[in-house]
Structure 1
Amino acid sequence: MDLTRISATDLLKQLANRNVSAAEVMRSTLDRIAKVNGEVNAIVALRDTDELMAEAKARDNGPVTGPLHGLPIAVKDLVNVAGVVSSQGSPVFKGVVPDSDDLIAARMRAAGAILIGKTNTPEFGLGSHTFNPVYGATRNPYDADHTCGGSSGGAAVALATGMVTLADGSDMMGSLRNPAAWNNVYGFRPSWGRVPSDPVGDSFLHQLSTLGPMARSPEDLGVLLDVISGPDPRLPLVSESASVSPVNTADLQGLRIGWLGDWGGTFPIEPGILDLCKDAMNVFETLGAQVEAVAPPFDAEQLWSSWITLRSFSVAAGLEPLASKKDHLKDTAQWELDRGLAVSAMEVHHASVIRSEWFRCAANLFDQFDALVLPSAQVWPFAIDLPYPTQIAGRTMDTYHRWMHVTVPVSLIGLPCLAAPAGFGAQGLPMGFQLFGPRGSDQKLLSVGAAYHAETNWPNKRPAMS
């Protein structure tokens, strides 16, 4: 039995029942990392082997400690982990070793996970392409000359190659969804407020980014989502949420799905992507769902105007302490910082009015449909040495992130969204779609995804290197 390839759900049951030891799982994990990580560069800041094996043996000699008992997990390198270099991909923090865990790391550790190191990310998580001056680029396991996406790119690649069975990520502008699509795995952006961020700085104004799980099945997503969900008394806007696990396969008879496609031509999309996503919609129809094309429900340029104002406002709030070191930041971080510092309070207000109008519009849509679907990305994985696409299908991109416009309708209003694999294009590269619903429909989306997964099982297609 290959312990790096079975599902997290099955592996955790075996660990809890003592049918397999944490030491065995750790040894298999470290062997797998040694075999494949050199080519893809997904795991960084890996802890000492002897320390990890000792921690695993201690788990075997003690009680079962929680739902993640004995499971090795590498944490996204935007998250502080006690005793592990936490650089955020930036030279400003190169070599920094925190003495305490951020909240999500603390929750995974308390649930019994063994935190083995980090997964690579772009500098400060900016841009959907995982490269940084500290660790370099993470490569796509299906074609090492191409990007894996981002910002949770290291996490997605680690999952795709069997180096971990569960991974955490974060998502502002598709950072859980884009790498899931480009690495043939699942990502889940939860309803905003389900998973808390750290109780540091402002806890009221910024509602664009959220933490979430990545895995090779919706059932496995649910395991980690339950661990990292739930309120913290220090945070005002985090909601109580019912458990989603176990994720049961939904009956899709009569399920109403709205297909938004390219938003009426507003989103330029490379050839083949829409066709592949439509093939995935055919799977839903085979399972009994009703899929209907939906005309653009809201002006995409208004969504974009609102988004870039609120995003720069939010990103600059995080980067402001580094303003005196701005010359040490990458150009896109400098651009976000400058825009955010220049925005006025009323500009933020007007952007949030548009956001509110879109939320009301989406609520009406969900009276007609149980879920809506968009592609997860507008382009196929691009060359590893390209910072970001500057044009799509002949249309010039006016910012470094305009090519991810397709993720904005979900992110702007904090909707739950399952990023699911849709298969492979003509060049053998993966792609996926976003299945999203109203706030609070997290469990339903995962159950719908479980039905799709049972029919397709796309993540079972292995990278060539394995």
Structure 2
Amino acid sequence: MEDRHDLVFRTARELVGLMVDRQMSAREVLDAHLEQIERVDPKVNAVVTLVPEHARAMARRADEAIARGRALGPLHGLPALHKDLADTAGIRTTYGSPLTAGHVPRRNTLVVQRMIDAGAVSMGKTNVPEYGTGSQTYNPLFGATGNAYDPTLTCGGSSGGAAVALATGMAAVCDGSDMAGSLRNPAAWNNVVGLRPTAGRVPVWPNSMPVFTLAQYGPMARTVGDVALQMRVVARPDSRALMNLPEADFGAALDRDFTGVRVAWSSTLGGLPVDERITAAMAPARALLQDVLGTAVEDAEPDMTGVDEAFGIMRAAYYWQNHGEDYRAHRAQLDEGVRWEVERGRALTVLDLGRAERLRAEAHDRVHAFMAAHEFLIAPVVQLPPFPVQEHWPREVAGVPQTYYREWMRVCSRISLTGNPAVSVPFAFTPEGLPVGLQIIGRFGADFAVLQLAHAVETVTGTGKRRPALAL
């Protein structure tokens, strides 16, 4: 039998093939991952709820299906972990808050249900900041999650536990969500792949704000191919969701000839401060895109006027609607970032909301026109390398003071407002040995094209194959 340590770093597609071809059982694959969790998680604190017996029952179901001659689906038997913001029926879902520490949902979030229906084996939940607030994964219930490459540093967030679990071989696939960069930022800092899909590509249900576009569910994995595999499952319309895009073929070939494709290159996405280590690590991508892949690269970026203001207003309104009651009853128990957002949301007027919508519409039109002339926009995923895990957020980036907890995440949140698809793909490492991802942004609805370019970058660099020492 294959060494269990090697097994946990197989791609999800390879693992499905092994199980479907009866070279290995789902229970054997699960046991290897449970052993990796037991061995590695105490070093990083990524898995906050573990349900091994529940997982073994699901693995047994997968093996019984193969014995009857059929696979359960594209994710057959894959050990999965779910973000602790996504509801999981019968499995504790805390949202990282003491106010919901004992919450056990009665139904699954649609993304979780679709993964299970496709054969995934649910092992438990991954750590998040309280209510997903900020890109530093810590909360009063479970503490902080350390970076897979240096646990004394942050792993990012809010899908931080998921990114670390993948990087260290504790799960084959994970789900995540992204409002201000929560799929992309931790992926970049842990050398895995995180895709924020086009708004409406992955239906969100249940949803208290059904036409809210900033927050989107999406997949995380160690390879672009494994992200595409998950998109085959989760990116389908659902009549219960008000926002739906037509189904796309995520099972098509990822290989593509990019000769002559126009690509815009932006090292600051509108003049944002970026640490010189990020700029230096990202710089070789330009030659890769132009000289190796044959694209036509030019310095260009869309006009981001008003984007930060619109995003801030809409996010604050979201927090007031979803956490206003908690604020009134339990203000002192909430994280400072949650309180800050709710207080801003409480002060908003109808005129503020109208201005935000107008600014978003103007930004969408400008970005749409820009992307009509450039199939892709390349930008940093993060504005600085991981900072100490004890710090809740960086007070300075490249010498520029940061005045609020998510100001340093605008290289991602600016794209969130437009609704365009964006992926973080492993690209390089800093001199200190910390991962740096590349953000590939595509046209509205062109999620698969974004994955194709990410796959091309991944194939050339091989950066995603570098494993953290603590997981070996």
TM norm structure 2? 0.95
CA, structure 1 residues 313+51, in 2 after alignment: closer, same or farther (shift >3 Å)? closer
The percent identity for this pair of structures is 37
Secondary structure at 2:50 match in 1: coil
Correspondence 1:116 to 2:123: yes
Select the residue among 44, 48, 51 that pairs with 1:44: 48
Conserved 8 A contact 1:218-1:247:
no
Distance 1:435 1:306 in 2: 23
Q: Does 2:371 match 1:366?
A: yes
- Please point out which of 26, 43, 51 is paired with 2:30: 26
Q: Report SS of the residue matched to 1:18.
A: coil
The separation in 1 between residues aligned to 2:248 and 2:113, in whole angstroms, is: 20
Residue of structure 1 aligned with 2:435, choices 430, 437, 440? 430
2:353 counterpart residue number: 348
**Residue 200 of structure 2 contacts residue 244 of structure 2 at CA under 8 Å; is this kept in 1?**
yes
Q: How does 1:101-112 map to 2 (within 5 A)?
A: 101-112=108-119
Q: How does 1:149-168 map to 2 (within 5 A)?
A: 149-168=156-175
Correspondence for 2:448: 443
CA separation in 2, counterparts of 1:202 and 1:50? 35
Does the 8 Å CA contact 1:219/1:246 hold for their aligned counterparts? Answer: no
For 1:352 and 1:17, how far apart are their aligned partners in 2? Answer: 52
Check conservation: 1:78, 1:87, Cα contact below 8 A.
yes
Output the CA distance in 2 between the equivalents of 1:441 and 1:411. 15
Kindly tell me: are residues 28 and 246 of structure 1, through their superposed partners in 2, closer, same or farther at Cα, counting changes over 3 Å? farther
Cα distance in 1 for residues equivalent to 2:311 and 2:189:
24
Amino acid at match of 2:62: R
In 2, are the aligned partners of 1:219 and 1:245 still within 8 Å (CA)?
no
CA distance in 2, matches of 1:237, 1:254: 34
Which whole-Å CA distance do the structure 1 matches of 2:208 and 2:138 have between them? 27
Q: How does 1:187-266 map to 2 (within 5 A)?
A: 187-204=194-211, 206-263=212-269, 266=271
For the 8 Å contact 1:269–1:393, the answer to whether it is kept is yes
Write out per-residue CA displacement over residues 161-192 of structure 1, whole angstroms, 9 at most, x where no aligned residue.
01112111100000011001100111101010
Change over 3 Å in CA distance of 1:263–1:103 after alignment to 2: closer
Deviations 1:374-417 (A, max 9, x none): 10011100001001001112211121110111112210011001
**Residue 326, structure 1, aligned to residue 360, structure 2:** no
Structure 2 runs not aligned, ≥5 long: none
The residue number in structure 1 matching 2:39 is 35
CA distance in 2, matches of 1:281, 1:19: 42
Q: Indicate conservation of the 8 Å contact 1:219/1:247, yes or no.
A: no
In the aligned structure 2, how far is the partner of 1:382 from the partner of 1:152?
Answer: 17
| 1:439 aligned partner, one-letter code | F
Mapped partners of 1:106, 1:380: distance in 2: 35
Matched residue SS, 2:24: coil
Q: CA-to-partner distance for each residue in 1:276-322, whole Å, 9 max, x for gaps?
A: 1121222222121121111x53145x221111111111222221342
Which whole-Å CA distance do the structure 1 matches of 2:445 and 2:304 have between them?
25
Alignment check: 8 A CA contact 2:427 2:458 kept: no
Q: Deviations over 1:333-353 (max 9, x none)?
A: 011111112111121111111
What is the Cα deviation at residue 6 of structure 1?
1.0
> Does the residue aligned with 1:61 lie in a helix, a strand or coil?
helix
CA distance in 2, matches of 1:189, 1:28: 29
| 8 Å CA contact 1:194, 1:239 repeated in 2 | yes
Match of 1:305 in 2: 309
Count of equivalent residues? 461
Distance 1:330 1:398 in 2: 17
Q: Distance in 2 between matches of 1:216 and 1:13?
A: 17
CA distance in 1, matches of 2:113, 2:190: 27
Alignment-derived partner of residue 60 in structure 1: 63
Stretches of structure 1 that go unaligned for 5 or more consecutive residues are: none
Q: 1:289 aligns with which of 288, 291, 295?
A: 295
Tell me how far apart the structure 1 counterparts of residues 269 and 122 of structure 2 sit (CA, whole Å).
Answer: 41
Which of the numbers 312, 320, 331 marks the counterpart of 1:316?
320
The 3-state SS of whatever aligns with 2:379 is strand
Q: Is the 8 A contact 1:203 1:236 kept in 2?
A: yes
SS at match of 2:303: coil
Q: Does 1:379 align with 2:372?
A: no
Secondary structure of the residue aligned to 1:412 is helix
What's the secondary structure of 1:365's corresponding residue? helix
- For 2:437, the aligned partner's letter is G
Post-superposition offset of 1:326: 2.4
Measured in 2, the distance between the counterparts of 1:427 and 1:379 equals 13
CA contact (8 A) 1:247 1:450 kept: no
**Aligned amino acid, residue 140 of structure 1:** N
Q: Which amino acid letter does the alignment assign opposite residue 428 of structure 1?
A: G
Please state how far the C-alpha of 1:247 moved relative to its aligned partner. 4.2
After TM superposition, which residue ranges in structure 1, 4 or more long, deviate above 6 angstroms?
Answer: none
In the other structure, the counterpart of 1:7 is: 11
CA contact (8 A) 1:26 1:56 kept: yes
2:83 alignment partner AA:
K
- Change beyond 3 A, Cα 1:15–1:186: same
Asked if 2 retains the 8 angstrom alpha-carbon contact of 1:190 and 1:417, the reply is: yes
Asked if 1 retains the 8 angstrom alpha-carbon contact of 2:205 and 2:240, the reply is no
